[in-house]
Amino acid sequence: MEFLLGTIAVIFCIAMALKGYLAAVVIGGFLGSFLGVAGFGGAVSGMIPGAVIGAIIAVSISKGKT
């Protein structure tokens, strides 16, 4: 189940990067990697949700500006 959710999240991040939200995905992934514990796989596990949350925040901010 974790693999399936991770795959869906990665596809979402790729789609958001192609739509022009690459900076938000990268920044969210970078900040999310600090939530995990390096050496225990947590840093990678925190990167994907951080990227998704960063993209969602960027979309909401850009929709608010228009």
- Percentage of the residues of the chain whose pLDDT score is greater than 70: 74
Q: pLDDT digits over 8-19, tens only? A: 878 888 888 888
pLDDT at residue 1, as a whole number = 63
pLDDT at residue 21, as a whole number = 82
* Rounded average pLDDT over 9-37: 79
In the predicted structure, residue 38 carries a pLDDT above the cut 60: no
Q: Which residue has the higher pLDDT, 36 or 63?
A: 63
With b for 16 or more beta-carbon neighbours within 10 A and e for fewer, the 34-65 pattern comes to eebeeeeeeeebbbbbbbbbbbeebeeeeeee
pTM here?
0.66
